[in-house]
Structure 1
Amino acid sequence: MAVLLLTSPVVAKPAVPLVPFGIPFLPESPKPVAPSHPLYQRIALNPIVGMPDKIGAFLIPITNLKEFEEALRETLAQANMLAPPGQPAQAHLTVRWITLDAPTKISFSSNATSSISYVLTRSDNGQQIFARDISTSTKSTGGDGADRLKGNARLAILSNLASAVVCLDKAALGLAPSDCALTPQASYRAARMTYIFVPR
């Protein structure tokens, strides 16, 4: 009896959310700021600049503009930095998408680098408070290549958002480092290949 061997995994919803809270990072993890913090509920988010509607290949979608903007807004909200609806914002955050480098190749590992620019300005006079281009890199090994590429790339984006929150926290206190990139203390474990034997 002949068989047909299929090696396409069945992958459900993305296993990597884009909101970074709850994931450990080095040298530190993002945390909500206290009511005494200068950026507590003070930031309004401007429209994302320069990001395509969709990121990733046709068969390996990674994220899209709507999901990224929602993740950024939720990240700022969980950090207690997002100004509540109806409350005047003291500062505006402009986020510019630079690039996501997540090459597709036949190998047992995937590498990804997410580069995003963040500029925070005062609402009253437009004075720049904070400006950084942040690049975060991740690596994952094993499992199905397409699933690994997607999950690892999302982890790189998530790490970038975490880095921005921590750097904004420090910038408000005059302590922002020149390199804001955080390193996630976790890697993406891709789904294993699924083998389906179909009688012919």
Structure 2
Amino acid sequence: MRLVFLGPPGAGKGTQAARLQEKYRIPQLSTGDMLRAAVKAATPIGLDAKVIMDAGGLVPDEIVVGIVADRICEPDAKSGFILDGFPRTVNQAEALARMLRARNMDLDAVIELKVDEAALLARIEQRVKDSIAGGAAVRADDNPEAFKARLDAYHAQTAPVSAYYAEKGSLKTIDGMAPVDAVSEAIAKALGG
């Protein structure tokens, strides 16, 4: 099962991806985690990314695509993977399609979690309360100002990716405002099981 998860920050992508990861025994691949791992491992792509990240720049598409290409070839991704945080742009979606085609692979589905944006802020606030109550660290970007900036970036860059996949016929839109178990059931149904 090869999947892409789309949706604005706070939509529940991580929660649902974790459930699918367990169900299908496939890794959830976060580009942020992959970038940090490549930098730590001092791979050639990681070293290129480190220079850019250390200077405060955004890692260009070709480096991100290279890291994803390397990662999906690892043994644990042989049966599939869940991409979370990639592709973020239509250019990245097109690069992913080329990369998969070159490996005789295709995506099984693109899952988009649709949510009410006003409710997202409440979710972020609740996540902060839950983290504090559980003694966990609060994410630096879990505040209203950072959330708005992340949401604006999502609309500007990532939302067009949904239209790209809808045009290809691979987009499955799920109501992300439903209870967690209901969202999981809707995803399972969209995936044919």
TM-score (ref. length: structure 1): 0.26
Structure ranking higher in helix proportion: 2
Q: Which has the larger radius of gyration?
A: 1
